[in-house]
Structure 1
Amino acid sequence: MVYKMRYTLAKFMGRMAGPVAKLGPGAGTSFPGIVFLKIAGYDALKQLASELKIGSILITGTNGKTTTTTLLIKLFSKELDIRGSYESNTVTAITTGLLQGRGDIGVFEYGIRDKKHGMPDTIQELIGPVGVVYTTISREHAQVAGVKNPFNQYLEAKTLLTDNMNHGVIVTNADDPRTANIGLNKSKDIKVNYYGVDDKKISDIFEDETVECPNCGNPLEYSHKFMNHRGLYKCPDCGLERPQLNVRLKSIEFEDTKWLLNIEGNLFNYTVNKDVSFKLHLKVPPFGFHNVYNTLASITAFATFTPNPDNIEKTAEYVFNNLDMSFIPPGRFEVVNINGKKVGLGQGDNYDYVIMTGCGEEQAMWENIKQKLIK
């Protein structure tokens, strides 16, 4: 009885704290969550999260978390009332998202720098997510609070978010060997839906660098790279290779004012408990190739958890065909003029951009971009 009263009081006070706090973009304030957790304690998160009929989806990765979360919220908002938070990566922000609004599904950005600050295994236990979405994992967050953060510990912390997950679906980037390996290691326990690129005219122009196999630590061999360490890879020692794609970018056409994306999917839908298929023809802004990956991540997650799989094509095409640049977080994208052509540059994974294989003029243009970026 005492616990029930404390829990009820905590919810009431947490919700009352919402108007007091200055709600930033994405309702990512922590204050209501702090109030709730202070009164009810962390264990009460289990009960709060269990009030969602479908459950919670957590989005994590080195890059693309905020944009993927934003796009996923746009997709679900066409069909459902949802609870969510983005642009804030803490447990208190997730708690705030669970407290605010109404809805049967939760969509929450969750950044993890290390085990101490992120508590990924604790979050997994308390929230009990039905979905975890991995964008990409790279070597960018080398420091946390001014302290060196070894990459193996960073990768381990990301992995812990799903290590004890025994229900739901993991949505993960198959082109990234690190996120793919997380899915492969969990595929014996739960369903995994993989997304990636299936158009080889997308090619990374950076010099090759050694990428260690996340499974055995030996160098991976790449037959093609799409961007940074994402591509077609295989480990000659342990046999790790890119898994079969459930959602694939079949082709992309670059035009001055829009990009045309053809996407095909065949994946497991958690809500209806069966496989579903779809084909999408999207017209999106020229928003940088890293956002193509964010598009694939959000569509895969949406198709995995929507309770209305018959509407996947209609909903996705409506959202993306009406998309403008306002969804991109400030400061993470810039349009520049290179040789008379407008080119989008994104913050993404260390100088994200893309070239199209073809004539020498195209190659020269993109080499020019590279030099401008490096400078």
Structure 2
Amino acid sequence: MADAAAVPFGARWKLRISAVLWFLLLAGFLLGLPVLLDVSWLVVAGLLVVALVLGLLIASLVRLVFRGQRRQPFLMSYLKAVLGTLFGLGIVVALPIYYAAVLTDLKPLTVPQATLSNGKQTVVFQGMMHVGSEPFYKGVVYDLEKALTEGYVIYYEGVQGSPEGDKWFNDTLAGGGDLSANYQMLSDVCGLKFQLDYFQLLRADMTAHPERHVAADVSTADMMHEYERLVAADPGFAARVQPAKADAAATTSSSEGLSGLIGLLDGGTAEQKRIAGYACRGFLTWTLGRPDAPSPLDPVILDYRNRALADRISKDTHPLIYITYGAGHLPGLLQDLKAIDPTWEIQSVKWQRVVEAPDDVSGRLSS
């Protein structure tokens, strides 16, 4: 007790706070270490080299600022600076991966399945994404098969190619590249699935009953003509879309770079693929979960296609229609349907989770 009383009150609190900080740094580093090692032991080695270099600078600055630090040997100050820097860098590098892993559970990405009706027709709008979890697509296919047995006609999203408009579409909107191939590679890295793989389960019914499966989207030529019409009719639109065209053209090189990165990750170890999957799913959840910023090309990409879809529905004699379209089309579609017939309204909405970690279930057979 006499020794404790001899230590000044302020010094005791400094020691306690220092001990707590070192404990938190060590605990955070140890929690992140398995992630860093799963990526590669070279990451840990690289962080150690950086810590050894920065430690010299940090130790010198600390000894210059704090008089008490100059009472201990420089080697001790340097060792503490290296360890503190190594622990801090490890936490900084591993934290985004941990955050991405929990983000898909904390803020799940969802799409609506909405039932619309005007009393004469019933439309089920199934929000879609190009890449998603296996349970989501299995649920969608199950609902589609059930809808077919109930007499629904299925409308599919997908801009249809045409010799006249394909080049314009790729140069102006798509930024070049094979989108389907990129989506497939992205799904592999993220531990997810590509939606077209699951729609193949309906191929037999498409062949037997083609009249029940409708490619309801516009063509690339249709979009090109609408784009040209808007450019000629609205100088403001023409001025706004020039930067958007440049951005789309620039995505060609970035898309190629992304394909190369995805290919590199796809060839990694099982641990690296697992870490990449966490990061990828978290990035998708964060990116797609944010409100969409308006694009200058929305009048062509969204508004025109929504009007065309609403017009097709209003002219269809089938009373039951099931639509699989991007979730972002629903508000505009409802507005355009109401413009044709004000009695259209949403009767119900069910939200479905799109992105989640794949199930990893294993067991052991008894001998």
Q: TM-score scaled to structure 1, two decimals?
A: 0.25
Q: Would you tell me which structure has more helix in proportion to its own residues?
A: 2
- Asked which structure has the greater RCO (Cα within 8 Å, sep 6+), the reply is 2
User: Taking structure 2 as the reference length, what is the TM-score of the superposition?
Assistant: 0.25
Larger strand fraction of residues: 1
